[in-house]
Homo-oligomer: A and B are copies of this chain.
Amino acid sequence: MSNFLPKSVRNLIEELGRLPGIGPKSAQRLAIHLLYSPASRVTPLGEAVLGLKENVMFCGCCWNIAESDPCKICGDGGRDQGIICVVEDVLDVVALEKTSEFKGVYHVLHGSLSPIDGIGPEQLKIAELFARIEKSRAGADVGGDASVPVREVILATNPSLEGEATALYIQKHLREMDVKITRIARGLPVGADLEYADEITLTKALQGRGEF
């Protein structure tokens, strides 16, 4: 680090460089950009970073980040509490919500099974998922948002090695329960070229073919 730069600038470059996907050059460029920006642009960013965790909690039902417990989605009477879409993380909920296609509720696992990284079922919100389903099916006497029994669990973990393993693990444990278990379709993304698709994707696309 060039030590002729003011300490506060070097400090920001160092902190920005710690963020994922931001290398030393990007960190420098961002810091200098902020230095040339008026305070009216810099202060809100700094305050947004410091205030990030204010009023943020986990929804005790779906484990998504939220401002209230239950969260807006779980507390929304217009959504079907009988269909749970299981995802790996918060940004997956953001992506799915953008489609406006799904009217059920979510369950955020906060990761995927990865023994190499020491992530087993205990590190994820898997036990909470099972408990949630069981509770909902125990009867409507518990009241609240759990009064609708869960009919379907959509496994929407990533189509990666870890995501598939996580989906498989959950599916195995839910098998004895009388609940429909589905997996999001794997196939060619819209706009893709068949010629460039890998074998596994093509295999999945063939296996998952539907009536035209």
Contacts and interface: CB of A to CB of B under 8 A. Distances in A.
Interface in A104-162: none
Contacts of A31: 52
Interface string A1-38: 01111111101101110111100001011111111000
A37 to B, nearest CB: 9
A50 interface: yes
Contact of A9 (B2, B14, B19, B56): B56
A60 to B, nearest CB: 15
Contact of A55 (B8, B20, B26, B46): B8
A165 interface: no
Contacts of A182: none
A197 interface: no
Contact of A20 (B7, B33, B42, B56): B33
Interface residues of A, number: 57
A32 B67 contact: no
A53 B42 contact: yes
Given A4-B97, A53-B42, A65-B5, A89 B32 contact: yes
A110 to B, nearest CB: 8
A208 interface: no
Contact of A35 (B11, B16, B52): B52
B19 A44 contact: no
Given A7-B67, A49-B46, A21 B26 contact: yes
Contact of A19 (B12, B21, B33, B73): B33
Given A11-B48, A35-B90, A43-B50, 7 more contacts: A4-B93, A7-B67, A29-B91, A35-B52, A42-B50, A46-B46, A49-B49
